[in-house]
A and B are shown apart, each in its own frame.
Chain A
Amino acid sequence: AQSVAQPEDQVNVAEGNPLTVKCTYSVSGNPYLFWYVQYPNRGLQFLLKYITGDNLVKGSYGFEAEFNKSQTSFHLKKPSALVSDSALYFCAVRDGFGQGSSNTGKLIFGQGTTLQVKP
């Protein structure tokens, strides 16, 4: 079964410092990986995805993620954190591929990591 794990409940970083939010995955076949962010009292916002291609994926708001097949990881990074980046971050893997009748496309989420950026 597909799964993702976010080993840290919370990450604290000072504004201006680089940040990393960790995610590891377990899938059969090639993974389709995603990062979403949730601000308080808001829905989930798509940040970036890895489907295939370059291992370094660039996304919204200056975030990027590095896909590492050997370590089965997909860590979210940003070179310089902002206080406004403080939020709940979710890593997810897509279950199945395409729109065939046997594939669902549902997302399987990690438990989430709270990012706290302090001024």
Chain B
Amino acid sequence: RKEVEQDPGPFNVPEGATVAFNCTYSNSASQSFFWYRQDCRKEPKLLMSVYSSGNEDGRFTAQLNRASQYISLLIRDSKLSDSATYLCVVGGGTSYGKLTFGQGTILTVHP
């Protein structure tokens, strides 16, 4: 079983749609959780950290369920510029600062 698993997609949605990505992780000792965004042929960039209480940043909402070892990202009112690969990332539990990356979920928002 992979340490971090995501549905690779691709997700193709129209502008204005709401889309949700899910992710599961296997290490119950994990302590930090993130969503990164990666544009084609670019480096990953931090989108948001994920907290147990859930957190929101504009159109983006992230949720964490530690009991189920599940992380989600909800994007509301999708924009063309949201087209990218979204990486679920889990850290802690073992080596200092080490992160484990999911393979990414591809999102394409079309007009």
Q: Do A and B bind each other?
A: no
- B: residues with CB less than 8 A from A are none
